[in-house]
Chains A and B, each alone.
Chain A
Amino acid sequence: MTEDSDSDEVLARAKRRDPAAVAVLFRELQPLLLRYLRARVDRIVADDIAGEVWAAVAAGIESFQGDGANFRAWLFTIARNRVNDHHRTSGRRRTAPVADVPDAISDDAETLVLDGIAGQDAVDLLRRHLTGDQLEVVLLRVLGDLDTAQVAVLLERPESWVRVTQHRAIQRLTVRLGPVLGRAVDSL
């Protein structure tokens, strides 16, 4: 949600279950939510969990108190809890199998950038090059728009750990992808 006044108005209407407002929220947040979930679990499960998240939102939105940023944080909090529930009950590993990542994105980041990399491709690149903790932090910061304190609470880690993990994630991306992405960006 990019404009505070706008987002507050839309959220207020969504709480009254105005379909147009709900659609605005969905169009803005669903892609981010899906990309986060698909980085954590396989795609079919991610789609299922996304549906659960929106069902939870639909059930609770009338009692939600907060602004657009809080709403987004709430959405991602629900999503992460659902992912953790899934991992607990299924015993699966915390990150989605690498095999789920389309081959096309793995070796040709430069081409993707030149062609206009899609949101999911960008997340898949992050997933491919970051550790599990780094990915979680970066996605919650970037997609969830959570600040470091919020991420720390959500991950039950010290805030300093979040900052360090984020810093290392950026360093890792810079080392691994910086040169190729830099060439691509420079050539645009």
Chain B
Amino acid sequence: MSVEPVNVPDDALRDAPQAVASLLRAATRPGTPAELAALESVLDAFAAPAAPATVVVTHRRWTRAAIVAAALTFAGASVAAAATGNLPGPVQRAVSDVADRVGIDIPGPDAGSAGGQGDGTDGRENDRGTPARPREVATTLPPGSPLVGTPSVGGPTDSVPPGVVPADQQLRGLCVTWFVSPGGSSLDAPSRAALVAAAAVVEQSVEVFCAELGVTAPPSQPATPSEPTAPTTTTVPTVPTVPTVPAGQGNDQGASSVTGDAGTKVDTPLSR
């Protein structure tokens, strides 16, 4: 294996004159430093393979994995720490609050060690960092959930201790910043990613998502029209569907996908 330009399939270039073939080959040139900037984060993902946020989030649905990923990105904390209740107390509480409101069980800071660690049956990482057994989890979004509908008033965020900014409030803050510049370019990358993820998991644009949190674009930058609301109930596996077709064994159905739930794609490899 090398990082030299890859071989462009010969038959792809059969018809191409030299100049065009050169152009196609140029498209496969080794990466620039900018293109490779995400190496560390990818290595991190491989280092913590069974944590919820590294689970495949297909179709950007409001799945358990997506909720956890969004919340943890939002909190800027490690995935494994949150899943096992090991985040700093206030952060763990905020993450737990976000998840609780949509029916996801993430231990709060007071959960302690009793039952807080994965036992291999609840879909969480166990003590050895290996994946738990698969389990179907029904993720139901209450119609009144603050992440689906209107911002909460007197909800769980009211119980957030002093000094901790409630999750909704933080999201509203991100929304305000989002509208300051087109596309939220004034947000730093993690904050932008968190907001986009939070909106994506309910299959809304950031503008609609923020509007439902009570933050709208200034008159000069109107929000985009509403998009269809995501299904409020989604059943997803807690572990990713992984390829199982050995190479060359005639996966006639190819790679396109297997429909999991209402159009959720499951990635499978192509046979060659």
Question: A: which residues have CB within 8 A of B?
Answer: 1-3, 6-7, 9-10, 14, 17, 19, 22-28, 30-32, 34-35, 44, 47-48, 50-52, 54-56, 58-71, 73-74, 77-78, 81, 84-86, 88-91, 113, 117-123, 125-126, 138-139, 141-143, 145-148, 150, 153-154, 156, 166-167, 170-171, 173-174, 177-178, 181-182, 184-185
Q: Report the minimal beta-carbon distance from A114 to chain B, rounded to whole angstroms.
A: 12
Q: Report the minimal beta-carbon distance from A50 to chain B, rounded to whole angstroms.
A: 7
A90-B205 contact in complex given A50-B38, A65-B246, A173-B16, C-beta closer than 8 Å: yes
| Interface 9-residue window, one of B103-111, B156-164, B168-176, B264-272 | B264-272
Interface residues of B in 70-124 (CB under 8 A from A): none
Cβ of B153 within 8 Å of any chain A Cβ, yes or no, is: no
A selection of 5 A-B contacts at a CB cut-off of 8 Å is A58-B45, A74-B243, A74-B255, A113-B22, A123-B27
Bound-complex Cα distance A7 to B1 (A) = 5
Bound-complex Cα distance A17 to B49 (A) = 9
Residue of B nearest to A33 (CB): B35
Cβ of B211 within 8 Å of any chain A Cβ, yes or no, is: no
Task: Let me know if B268 and A56 touch, CB within 8 A.
Answer: no
Question: B: which residues have CB within 8 A of A?
Answer: 1-4, 6-9, 11-13, 15-20, 22-24, 26-32, 35-36, 38-39, 41-43, 45-47, 49, 53-60, 183, 192-193, 196, 200, 203, 205, 227, 239-247, 253-257, 263, 265, 267-272
Identify which of A9, A85, A138, A166 gathers the most chain B CB atoms within 10 Å of its CB.
A85
- SS class, residues of chain A in contact with chain B: helix
Bound-complex Cα distance A60 to B47 (A) = 13
Bound-complex Cα distance A60 to B267 (A) = 10
Residue of B nearest to A79 (CB): B267
Bound-complex Cα distance A70 to B248 (A) = 9
Q: Report the minimal beta-carbon distance from B134 to chain A, rounded to whole angstroms.
A: 12
Task: Let me know if B35 and A88 touch, CB within 8 A.
Answer: no
Bound-complex Cα distance A125 to B39 (A) = 26
Task: Let me know if B39 and A65 touch, CB within 8 A.
Answer: no
Task: Let me know if A19 and B269 touch, CB within 8 A.
Answer: no
Bound-complex Cα distance A22 to B44 (A) = 10
Q: Report the minimal beta-carbon distance from A29 to chain B, rounded to whole angstroms.
A: 9
- SS class, residues of chain B in contact with chain A: loop
Bound-complex Cα distance A173 to B36 (A) = 29
Task: Let me know if B255 and A150 touch, CB within 8 A.
Answer: yes
Bound-complex Cα distance A63 to B8 (A) = 28
Task: Let me know if B31 and A31 touch, CB within 8 A.
Answer: yes
A66-B43 contact in complex given A3-B2, A32-B6, A182-B18, C-beta closer than 8 Å: no
Set B17, B24, B257, B272: member contacting A178, Cβ < 8 A: B17
Question: A26-B42, A89-B60, A153-B256 given. 10 additional CB < 8 A pairs?
Answer: A26-B43, A31-B35, A51-B41, A60-B267, A74-B270, A85-B58, A126-B23, A145-B9, A150-B270, A173-B16
What are the residues of chain A within 8 A of B196 when measuring CB–CB?
A: 48
Task: Let me know if B244 and A65 touch, CB within 8 A.
Answer: yes
Task: Let me know if A154 and B31 touch, CB within 8 A.
Answer: no
What are the residues of chain B within 8 A of A89 when measuring CB–CB?
A: 59-60, 200, 203, 227
Residue of B nearest to A150 (CB): B270
Residue of A nearest to B269 (CB): A74
Bound-complex Cα distance A119 to B196 (A) = 28
Bound-complex Cα distance A148 to B265 (A) = 22
Task: Let me know if A86 and B60 touch, CB within 8 A.
Answer: yes
What are the residues of chain A within 8 A of B49 when measuring CB–CB?
A: 17, 58-59, 61-62
Task: Let me know if A1 and B1 touch, CB within 8 A.
Answer: yes
Task: Let me know if A178 and B19 touch, CB within 8 A.
Answer: yes
Task: Let me know if B2 and A77 touch, CB within 8 A.
Answer: no
Bound-complex Cα distance A74 to B56 (A) = 14
What are the residues of chain B within 8 A of A85 when measuring CB–CB?
A: 58-60, 265
Bound-complex Cα distance A139 to B244 (A) = 26
Set B13, B54, B183, B205: member contacting A59, Cβ < 8 A: B54
What are the residues of chain B within 8 A of A90 when measuring CB–CB?
A: 205, 227
Q: Report the minimal beta-carbon distance from B63 to chain A, rounded to whole angstroms.
A: 12
What are the residues of chain A within 8 A of B245 when measuring CB–CB?
A: 65-66
